[in-house]
Amino acid sequence: MEFVRLGIIGVGNMGTGHVERVHEGKIPGMKLTAVADINPARLEAAKKIAPYVECFDDGIKMMESGLCDAVLVAVPHYDHPSLSIEALKRGLHVMCEKPAGVYTKAVEEMIAEADKHPELKFAMMFNQRTNCVYRKMKELVQSGDLGSIRRTSWIITNWYRPQAYYDSGAWRATWSGEGGGVLLNQCPHNLDLWQWICGMPVKVSANLHLGKWHDIEVEDDVTAYVEYANGATGTFITSTGDAPGTNRFEVTMDGGKLICDGSTLKLYKLDTMEPEFSKTNTSPFGSPAVEEIDVETDGENPQHDGVLRAFTNSILNGTPLVADGREGINGLTLSNAMHLSSWLGKPIELPIDADLYKEELMKRVATSRRKVNVKEVVADTKGSYNSGK
């Protein structure tokens, strides 16, 4: 294979961005050959960007056209697992947009299908893993040089969205169309990075506020508390109602503290590991000396382009992916656990009861109210933090 022929399913906000980057030649070794969308207007828009592309009104038809070696799934969340499964069954490599799905049971089925096809590449669009500051943060945390994790804390509230955002699509911010709010739409990247850098917790407690700041039926304000197997604790706070918002990710370890704002990384390094200092220090109010360090990184942050380049190279040359699709279940597990904790009013131990979560979700889907007379709007995501959907 000299190049990868890509078909994109879903040409909304994210899909359109992918059409543009592949068409503009930003992904060497990849050619855009087809797009699929149920909305004729979106197909026309794709044609304006890439006049040569073949258009389909159904993703399965596109998969069976023989025009694609790989597909990129960029449709609303519920359909991520089912379309990925159909592509894998047809021998196509898959890049799935975040989140992996709405509930873990469906994602487990997607992973099971991927495991049947080891010859195929199955990837997740976790573009924030390409960010140099998060890559460096992971390196420092997992090196062991700073000891064990004691506390993690992420306040990520710079996901502000006005009501117009939620009014731009009938499926948005509904249980039946989206399956959740800020956790499922804006925060999959953050939840993925949290566990990628710090590992998965063993217990989750959360309070979710539904439609606190907007006329929506899903959560737009979240405060969660987690516990790790080693006794460490963590908090995760997010909202789409704060203006201006905050992005502050802290990891406290035996040997110091890392603080990241998404673009810079600081290390507050102790001259003596805290457990050792506490045992040997004789002053009642003593504390270990701290050195403040501006952590240097390689400066690279290729985002979506980097994920797609890695996907292409993995297909052509067998090199590593940025994120294997199987890893998408981890952040979704955290999201599902937070929802379930809030719904049931109690802490949730991991792994979650996938059947119970689906049962509780479907109760809310049954009473979900889809918006009517909505004028669909596709907006340019360039410049939006993490390019959220």
pLDDT band at 5 (very low <50, low <70, confident <90, very high): very high
Q: In the predicted model, is pLDDT for residue 84 greater than 60?
A: yes
Tokens 């006329």 -> residue: 215
Q: pLDDT digit string (tens) for 233-272?
A: 999 999 999 999 999 999 999 999 999 999 999 999 999 9
Tokens 């297909």 appear where? 315
| pLDDT, tens digit, 9 for 90 and up, residues 204-241 | 999 999 999 999 999 999 999 999 999 999 999 999 99
Asked, for residue 376, whether it belongs to a domain, the answer is no
**95/26 Cα distance (integer angstroms):** 17
Residue 183: give the domain boundaries.
129-300+331-366
Q: What is the DSSP string of 55-95?
A: EESSHHHHHTTT--SEEEE-S-TTHHHHHHHHHHHTT-EEE
Residues 243 and 134 in one domain: yes
306 and 198 housed in the same domain:
no
Say how far apart CA 315 and CA 309 lie, in whole Å: 10
User: Smallest Cα–Cα separation from 59: which of 48, 43, 41?
Assistant: 43
DSSP string covering 149-175, please?
EEEEEEEE------HHHHTT-TTTT-T
Q: Domain check: are 170 and 94 in the same one?
A: no
Mean pLDDT of 107-133: 98
Q: Please give the pLDDT value at position 372.
A: 67
Same-domain check for residues 93 and 194: no
Statement to judge: residues 180 and 152 lie in one domain = yes
Residue 380 has pLDDT above 70, yes or no: no
Digit-coded pLDDT (tens) for 37-55: 999 999 999 999 999 999 9
Whether 357 and 216 share a structural domain = yes
Do 57 and 102 sit in the same domain of this protein? yes
Q: Identify whether the C-beta of residue 219 lies closer than 8 Å to the C-beta of residue 184.
A: no
- Residue 241: phi and psi, rounded to 5, are -110, 0
pLDDT bucket at 370, cuts 50 / 70 / 90: confident
How do beta strands 30-36 and 203-210 pair? unpaired
- By percentage, how much of the chain surpasses pLDDT 90? 93
Long-range pairs, 111-120, Cβ under 8 A, ≥24: 111/325, 111/326, 111/329, 113/84, 113/85, 113/88, 113/89, 114/84, 114/88, 114/325, 114/326, 116/88, 117/88, 117/91, 120/88, 120/91, 120/92, 120/93, 120/94
DSSP state of 229: T
3-state secondary structure of 210: strand
Per the CB < 8 A criterion, the answer to whether 300 and 318 are in contact is no
Q: Are residues 316 and 359 in the same domain?
A: no
**Beta bridge partner(s), residue 260:** 249, 265
Residues 101 and 153 in one domain: no
For tokens 């002053």, name the residue. 283
**Site of tokens 């543009």:** 20
- Kindly report which listed range (135-144, 293-302, 362-371) carries the lowest average pLDDT score: 362-371
Q: Which whole-number Å values give the CA distances from 120 to 41, 93, 113, 322, in the listed order?
A: 32, 5, 11, 15
pLDDT greater than 60 at residue 384? no
Going by pLDDT thresholds of 50, 70 and 90, the confidence category of residue 383 is low
pLDDT of 162 > 70? The answer is yes
- 375 belongs to a structural domain: no
Q: How far apart are the C-alpha atoms of 350 and 356, rounded to whole Å?
A: 13
Cis peptide before 288 (omega within 30 of 0): no
Q: Tokens 């290390």 appear where?
A: 267
Q: Which CATH number do you get for residue 93? A: 3.40.50.720
Same domain, 124 and 156: no
Report yes or no: 201 and 234 within 8 Å, Cβ to Cβ: yes
Provide the domain count of the chain. 2
Residue 316, judged by CB atoms within 10 A of its CB (0-12, 13-18, 19+), counts as: middle
Mean pLDDT of 162-172: 93
Tell me whether strands 265-270 and 233-239 are parallel, antiparallel or unpaired.
unpaired
User: Can you tell me the distance from the alpha carbon of 107 to that of 90, in angstroms, rounded to the nearest whole number?
Assistant: 18
- Looking at every residue in the chain, the average pLDDT score rounds to 95
Instruction: Work out the pLDDT band at 389, boundaries 50, 70, 90.
Output: very low
- Decide if 371 is inside a domain: no
